[in-house]
């Protein structure tokens, strides 16, 4: 029996030694794994900071582009308004000129400008005249 007990003890010692070695190896694996996790957390933190920075840069650039586009739209709108005013002014002038050159326009122009305003001098009753040198009245022209 002592042989059986010593064989069992030997086997138990081997199992305990094996379990101790496995425990040490497992501790080393866990330490390496924890170190990798810590490193990954640091990398994740750096990446998230970069993403946040890129996000804020992108928002800032987007706002700048938006303001530039709005400014350009306002400038184009102002230019279109000026062109539209000029177009309507030219159109109105052409409409007036076209009307004045048309038959109804010519009739209107004649009626406005052809009024019988003639200057008639009153008739002289006598042919008497006053000489400028002597300031005398000459009635010989009456005869």
Query: What is the residue-wise DSSP string for 90-126?
Result: HHHHHHHHHHHHSHHHHHHHHHHH-------PPPPS-
- CA 21, distance to chain mean position in Å, is 74
Convert the pLDDT of each residue in 112-138 to its tens digit. Answer: 886 665 666 666 555 555 555 555 555
The domain ranges of the chain are 2-111
Convert the pLDDT of each residue in 89-113 to its tens digit. Answer: 999 999 999 999 999 988 888 888 8
Query: Whole-prediction pTM value?
Result: 0.44
């Amino acid at each position: 029996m002592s042989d059986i007990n010593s064989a069992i003890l030997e086997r138990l010692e081997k199992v305990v030694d094996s379990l101790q070695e496995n425990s040490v190896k497992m501790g080393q694996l866990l330490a390496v794994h924890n170190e990798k996790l810590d490193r990954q957390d640091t990398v994740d933190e750096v990446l998230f900071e970069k993403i946040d920075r890129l996000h804020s840069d992108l928002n800032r650039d987007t706002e700048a582009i938006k303001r530039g586009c709005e400014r350009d739209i306002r400038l184009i709108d102002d230019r279109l308004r000026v062109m539209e005013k000029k177009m309507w002014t030219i159109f109105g002038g052409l409409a007036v000129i076209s009307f004045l050159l048309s038959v109804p326009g010519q009739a209107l122009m004649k009626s406005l400008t052809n009024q019988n305003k003639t200057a008639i001098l009153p008739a002289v009753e006598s042919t008497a005249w006053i000489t400028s040198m002597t300031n005398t009245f000459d009635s010989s022209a009456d005869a």
